[in-house]
């Protein structure tokens, strides 16, 4: 009888108790591994979403010129609107990153050198830098490109969010323009003054592939006189004398420094403004009684050329390399590292 009971309980132990013990052990191991995996996933998720801690420049006061409203905006949110307004979304991502760093630097420079009484910066490209609302920007893109374009802009801003350009540990006045025509300009030749040591003339290849590179303006003699008279009422030009319309001097950036129009000598920058030329890099020819201005580049030519940046990016340059090309002897630092 005892042997039967021993065999019976042995049978119960082997068939039922042992499987339960091993199953419980397996479950404990699996649960432990799940916890480790989950902890890693949570940690990575928190790391990727953790915002950069701007100690001083996290929020800016943005003036909307049309309405006069001053809005408090997170700087990187503001920069998405700026980059989407200033540079085409189909440009290379490294060019867009360079634009984001330049725009952030320019913004902080403006905060430290205010020109608006109650605001850090305004939304006008002719005064500060361009800005467009997300809604308006999306509406201007093809519907099938809206989501990907905006994500590309956000990636350019967010992947560079701590970076600015400095010279001697101060944010630079980060000028930029559309197309240099192959060579950038020194600010002294555009606005006068003593200029900035980090804004020198540099050459950039590949800009001739863009529509902004070349343009022309053709005026009749009377149209030319009328435009010049808006500033010089006593202007007279003898169109039969080829010496009466003549470029006298060029800048280091190959732009017109001085040009003769009859009884007045004008700067190239002034001529550009009065005649509506895309840049001060132009030649003049008289053809069939008309005066033709053949223009290279688009904009003042100072600082980073946007099409030049895209051309460099397409040739493999990084955003940092692009910045070091257009701005001389600068450093790229985190915002919180500057004095």
Q: Which of residues 250 and 49 earns the better pLDDT score?
A: 250
Q: Which domain holds residue 248?
A: 214-296
Q: What pLDDT does 339 receive?
A: 62
Q: Does the pLDDT at position 18 exceed 70?
A: no
Q: Has residue 58 got a pLDDT over 90?
A: yes
Same domain? For 101 and 151 the reply is yes
pLDDT at residue 12 greater than cutoff 60 = no
Tell me the pTM: 0.83
C-alpha triplet 22, 28, 29: angle, nearest 5°? 95
Helix axis angle for 75-86 and 146-158, nearest 10°, is 120
Identify whether 237 is part of a domain: yes
Domain presence at residue 152:
yes
Which has more confidence, 28 or 317?
317
Report the pLDDT value the prediction gives residue 201, as an integer from 0 to 100. Answer: 97
pLDDT higher than 90, residue 48:
no
How far is it, in rounded angstroms, from Cα 219 to Cα 87? 31
In the predicted model, what is the mean pLDDT of residues 134-153? 97
**pLDDT tier at 50 (50, 70, 90 boundaries)?**
low
Whether 125 and 274 share a structural domain: no
Contacts of 3 (CB under 8 A, 6+ apart): none
Same domain? 63 vs 161: yes
pLDDT > 70 fraction of the chain, expressed in percent and rounded: 85
Dist CA 98 CA 132 (whole Å): 19
Position 194 scores a pLDDT of 77
Q: Determine the Cα–Cα distance for residues 43 and 254; give it in Å rounded to an integer.
A: 55
Residue 53 lies in a domain: no
pLDDT of residue 162: 93
Nearest residue to 106 via CA among 133, 134, 132, 125 = 125
> Mean pLDDT throughout 12-40?
36
- Does the structure show a pLDDT above 50 at 53? yes
Whether 39 has a pLDDT exceeding 60, the answer reads no
Tell me: do 269 and 322 sit in the same domain. Answer: no
- Predicted pLDDT of residue 44: 32
Asked if 70 and 171 sit in the same domain, the reply is: yes
Q: Based on the fold, state whether residues 313 and 289 are members of the same structural domain.
A: no
Residue range 125-137: mean pLDDT, rounded: 95
Whether 8 has a pLDDT exceeding 50, the answer reads: no
Q: Which residues contact 179 (CB under 8 A, 6 or more apart)?
A: 207, 210, 212, 213, 279, 297, 298, 299, 305, 306, 307, 308
* CA-based end-to-end distance of the chain: 93
Q: Is residue 23 part of a domain?
A: no
Q: What is the mean pLDDT of the chain?
A: 87
How many domains is the chain partitioned into structurally? 2
- Are residues 74 and 169 both part of a single domain? yes
The answer to whether residues 78 and 227 belong to one domain is no
In this structure, the answer to whether residues 256 and 325 fall within a common structural domain is: no
Instruction: Point out which residues pair with 258 in neighbouring strands.
Output: 249, 267
Which of 46-55, 141-150, 186-195, 212-221 shows the lowest per-residue confidence on average (mean pLDDT)?
A: 46-55
Indicate whether 4 pLDDT > 80: no
Q: Are residues 292 and 312 in the same domain?
A: no
The answer as to whether 331 is a domain residue is: yes
Q: Is residue 93 part of a domain?
A: yes
What pLDDT does 226 receive? Answer: 97
Please give the backbone phi and psi of residue 106, each rounded to the nearest 5 degrees, phi first.
-60, -40
Same domain for 149 and 66: yes
Does the pLDDT at position 43 exceed 70? Answer: no
189 inside domain? no
For residue 106, which of 304, 252, 282 has the smallest C-alpha distance? 304
For residue 193, the model assigns a pLDDT of 83
Query: What does the pLDDT look like over 79-116, one tens digit per residue?
Result: 999 999 999 999 999 999 999 999 999 999 999 999 99
Is residue 187 in a domain?
A: no
What size, in residues, is the chain? 339
pLDDT digits (tens, 9 = 90+) for 158-196: 999 999 999 999 999 999 999 999 999 999 999 998 789
For the chain, helix (H) and strand (E) counts, in that order, are 11, 14
> Quick check: 35 pLDDT over 60?
no
Averaged over 282-309, what is the pLDDT?
A: 96
Same domain, 140 and 230: no
């Amino acid at each position: 009888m005892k042997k039967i009971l021993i065999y019976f309980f042995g049978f119960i132990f082997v068939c039922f108790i042992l499987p339960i013990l091993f199953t419980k052990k397996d479950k404990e191991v699996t649960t432990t591994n799940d916890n480790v995996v989950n902890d890693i996933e949570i940690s990575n998720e928190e790391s990727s979403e953790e915002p950069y801690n701007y100690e001083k420049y996290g929020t800016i006061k943005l003036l909307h010129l049309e309405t006069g409203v001053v809005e408090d905006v997170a700087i990187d949110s503001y920069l998405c609107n700026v980059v989407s307004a200033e540079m085409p979304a189909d440009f290379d991502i490294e060019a867009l990153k360079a634009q984001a760093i330049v725009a952030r630097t320019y913004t902080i420079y403006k905060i430290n050198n205010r020109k608006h009484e109650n605001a850090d910066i305004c939304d006008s490209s002719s005064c500060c830098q361009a800005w467009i609302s997300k809604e308006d920007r999306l509406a201007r893109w093809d519907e099938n490109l809206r989501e990907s374009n905006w994500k590309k802009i956000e990636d350019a801003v967010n992947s560079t969010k701590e970076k600015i350009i400095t010279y001697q540990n101060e944010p630079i006045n980060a000028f930029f323009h559309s197309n240099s025509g192959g060579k950038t300009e020194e600010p002294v030749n555009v606005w006068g003054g003593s200029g900035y040591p980090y804004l020198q003339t540099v050459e950039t290849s590949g800009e001739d592939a863009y529509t902004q590179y070349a343009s022309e303006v053709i005026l009749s003699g009377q149209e030319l006189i009328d435009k010049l008279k808006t500033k010089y009422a006593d202007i007279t030009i003898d169109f039969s004398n080829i010496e009466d319309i003549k470029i006298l001097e060029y800048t280091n950036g190959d732009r017109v420094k001085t040009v003769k129009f009859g009884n007045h000598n004008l700067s190239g920058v002034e001529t550009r403004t009065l005649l509506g030329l895309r840049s001060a890099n132009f030649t003049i020819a008289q053809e069939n009684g008309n005066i033709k201005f053949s223009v290279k580049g688009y904009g003042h030519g100072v600082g980073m050329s946007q099409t030049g940046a895209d051309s460099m990016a397409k040739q493999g340059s990084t955003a940092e390399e692009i910045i070091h090309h257009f701005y001389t002897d600068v450093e790229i630092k985190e915002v919180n590292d500057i004095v």
